Amino acid sequence: MCLGIPGLIVGIKGDTATVDVAGTKKDASLRLMEKAAIGDYVIIHAGFAIEKVDTKRAEETLRLIRETFER
């Protein structure tokens, strides 16, 4: 099973974004995205940003992931 995780873009340099995923900063390629900007939530999979998601959906998903691992 593959899991795409939402992250918040906090920086962009060229075609690489720095993404905050639940407090951890990761680099993700933007080569599969047409438009992405600082402040956007995106789904990260295998080192690529693959889809924008709205803030409410992203934050709910992150909350559920945290709850799952706290058990």
pTM: 0.87
Q: Block means of pLDDT (10 residues each) for the chain, length 71 residues?
A: 84 97 92 95 94 94 85 71
58: three-class secondary structure by DSSP: helix
**Nearest Cα to 54, choosing from 36, 35, 37, 40?**
40
Total domains in the chain come to: 1
Which residue is listed with tokens 């992150």? 62
CATH number for position 9: 2.30.30.140
Q: The domain containing residue 61 runs over which residues?
A: 5-70
